[in-house]
């Protein structure tokens, strides 16, 4: 599959890494997998990294479907933030279209040209959401675990 999923930071983060040709159908299928995961309620952020996409084939209709998926998922867990790494004008434009379709009814999202800027934004947002979160300064790993019931 052209999208690899990796759970990070003890499951509060999900990394979507696209490579090669990525289609709207790939994104829709990946969203279904993530949103059906038993730990979905613990998620706090997603990094959508399209740096290695050689082609990004997503239609207008598929953007609407992806936006609808996120609106429904946000009703279960409204605390997720999404960093969209868009390295091409097409990816950037489709990300803006996605943001227009979700409006205020889904997750907070921001578009970035590089991974470093996206990670910095996520860190800032997490500090606002979870001020007690502590990271190891050397490894960057989260040292506190989120209690199951406190963040539902």
Domain boundaries, given as residue ranges, for the chain: 3-129
Name every residue whose Cβ is closer than 8 Å to that of residue 100 and which is 6 or more positions away in sequence: none
Is residue 71 pLDDT above 80, yes or no? yes
Q: What is the pLDDT of residues 86-139, one digit of tens each?
A: 999 999 999 999 999 998 888 999 999 999 999 999 999 988 877 655 555 556
User: What would the CATH number be for the domain defined by 3-129?
Assistant: 3.30.750.24
Helix (H) or strand (E) holding 52: strand 45-57
pLDDT at 142: 57
The whole-angstrom separation of Cα 15 and Cα 97 is 21
The CA distance from 98 to 116, in Å, is 22
SS3 110: strand
47 vs 151, higher pLDDT:
47
Q: Please tell me whether residue 70 adopts helix, strand or coil conformation.
A: helix
Overall pTM > 0.75: yes
């Amino acid at each position: 599959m052209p999208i690899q999923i990796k759970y990070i930071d003890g499951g509060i983060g999900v990394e979507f890494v696209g490579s090669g040709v990525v289609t709207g159908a790939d994104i829709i299928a990946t969203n279904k997998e993530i949103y059906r995961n038993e730990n979905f309620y613990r998620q706090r952020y997603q990094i959508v990294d399209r740096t290695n996409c050689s082609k990004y084939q997503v239609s207008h209709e598929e953007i609407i479907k992806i936006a609808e998926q996120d609106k429904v998922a946000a009703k279960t867990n409204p605390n997720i933030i999404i960093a969209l790494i868009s390295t091409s004008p097409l990816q950037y434009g489709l990300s803006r279209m996605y943001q227009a379709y979700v409006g205020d009814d889904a997750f907070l999202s921001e578009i970035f040209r590089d991974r470093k800027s996206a990670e910095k934004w996520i860190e800032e947002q997490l500090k606002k959401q979870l001020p007690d979160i502590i990271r190891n300064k050397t490894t960057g790993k989260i040292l506190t675990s989120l209690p199951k019931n406190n963040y539902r």
